[in-house]
Amino acid sequence: MSESLAMIRLWNQVKSNRSQLKKELKKANYLKKSRQSIIHAEQAHKEVFDKIDCLDCANCCSSIPPLITNTDKKRIAKHLNLKLKDFEQQYITLDEDGDEVFNQSPCHFLGDDNKCFIYEVRPKACRQFPHTEGHELFENLNLFKTNIKYCPAAFHILKALSVHT
Ligand code: SF4
Ligand code: SF4
């Protein structure tokens, strides 16, 4: 089994044990923002994404509709040769917070091979997910804690950070 698949398998085991995750997050002093913790997060992000292959996973694309900005809409509609209105009608809905998101999960643009049909023009939220690159992690801490439940990479970044307690 590849390292990437082993990491995803371990995450699946932990994810099914939510109380273990909750406990880990409660004692997570290492999630306090400091110069040192930002450096650790940068290292952890790089190390984990060097090992994990998102094409073995695609869990974000299968389970969390990304937020769509106006710039995203214009760019993707143009790429698909659609008028903005038609694109909105076909693909966009509002979530419970009133934010615009894709209206289908798994995503319309996710292929059977886990590749994204619109990779070059994908939404900003897709490019930034799981928001773990250095300072980004601390600026989106609640989001990071949520993403651990969906993203094996985020979970392994948490594990790598926990070494620095
Ligand atoms: S647009 Fe592409 S990257 Fe974003 S959720 Fe859909 S398939 Fe995934
Ligand atoms: S970003 Fe996370 S959830 Fe998305 S494909 Fe990569 S490892 Fe999986």
Q: How far is the CA of 117 from the centre of ligand 1 (A)?
A: 8
For ligand 2, whether the C-beta of 147 sits within 6 Å is no
CA distance readout (Å), 100 to 16, 32, 68, 73, 112: 30, 31, 6, 10, 25
Residue 151, classed as helix, strand or coil, is coil
Predicted local distance difference test score (pLDDT) of residue 73: 98
pLDDT tens column, 37-69: 899 999 999 999 999 999 999 999 999 999 999
End-to-end CA distance of the chain: 31
Predicted local distance difference test score (pLDDT) of residue 33: 86
For ligand 2, whether the C-beta of 66 sits within 6 Å is no
Q: What is the pTM of this model?
A: 0.90
CA neighbor of 80 nearest in space, from 102, 95, 113: 102
Angle at 56 between CA 23 and CA 125, to 5 degrees: 70
Q: For residue 114, what are the contacts with CB-CB under 8 A and spacing of at least 6? A: 54, 55, 56, 57, 58, 61
Predicted local distance difference test score (pLDDT) of residue 17: 80
Residue ranges with strand state E in 29-129:
92-94, 100-102
For 7, how many CA atoms within 13 A lie in the half-sphere containing its CB? 23
Burial of residue 91 (number of CB atoms within 10 Å: 0-12, 13-18, 19+): buried
The per-residue pLDDT of the chain, averaged, comes to: 92
Predicted local distance difference test score (pLDDT) of residue 165: 64
Label residue 104 by pLDDT band (50, 70, 90): very high
pLDDT tens column, 66-89: 999 999 999 999 999 999 999 999
CA 93 to chain centre: 20
The answer to whether 67 touches 100, Cβ cutoff 8 Å, is: yes
Domain ranges of the chain: 36-64+129-165, 65-121
- What residue's CA is closest to ligand 2, atom 2? 151
Label residue 128 by pLDDT band (50, 70, 90): very high
pLDDT tens column, 9-31: 988 888 888 777 777 787 777 88
pLDDT at 108 over 70: yes
Burial of residue 41 (number of CB atoms within 10 Å: 0-12, 13-18, 19+): buried
Q: Which two tokens stand for residue 89?
A: 């009608």
Query: What residues line ligand 1, using a CB cutoff of 6 Å?
Result: 61, 66, 107, 109-110, 116, 118, 122-123, 126
Mean pLDDT, residues 119-133? 95
